[in-house]
């Protein structure tokens, strides 16, 4: 998944550069590339959590609550990362055509 996100970011960067780099700042693109390091850590955390979930005590409500809360936290973190890249995509979508006219 990380490679696919890198590919998307590279594509967005190429499109942005094609119109003079005026739509998305280099800093925003750099930040998203750096965020992929955190995304990798999230995947590792998810793998660990899924392994731990195999041994969760179904009769221990506190254990189940903790497990579900950790899943929720990871899922929202994944959503945030996708949302950040999608925001850049939408920005290009809304402005690319007009930028070609310059």
At residue 102, the pLDDT reads: 59
Which two three-digit tokens encode residue 3? 């490679």
* pTM of the shown model: 0.86
Task: Tell me the percentage of the chain whose pLDDT exceeds 90.
Answer: 91
CB-based burial label for 71 (10 Å; 0-12, 13-18, 19+): middle
pLDDT digits (tens, 9 = 90+) for 70-99: 999 999 999 999 999 999 999 999 999 999
Q: Which segments in the chain show pLDDT lower than 70?
A: 102
């Amino acid at each position: 998944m990380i490679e696919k996100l890198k590919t998307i970011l590279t594509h967005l960067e190429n499109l942005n550069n094609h119109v003079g780099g005026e739509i998305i700042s280099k800093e925003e693109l750099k930040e998203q590339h750096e965020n992929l390091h955190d995304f990798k850590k999230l995947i590792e955390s998810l793998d660990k959590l899924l392994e731990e979930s195999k041994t969760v005590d179904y009769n221990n409500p506190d254990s189940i609550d903790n497990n579900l809360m950790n899943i929720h936290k990871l899922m929202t973190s994944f959503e945030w990362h996708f949302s950040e890249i999608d925001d850049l995509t939408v920005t290009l979508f809304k402005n690319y055509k007009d930028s070609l006219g310059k």
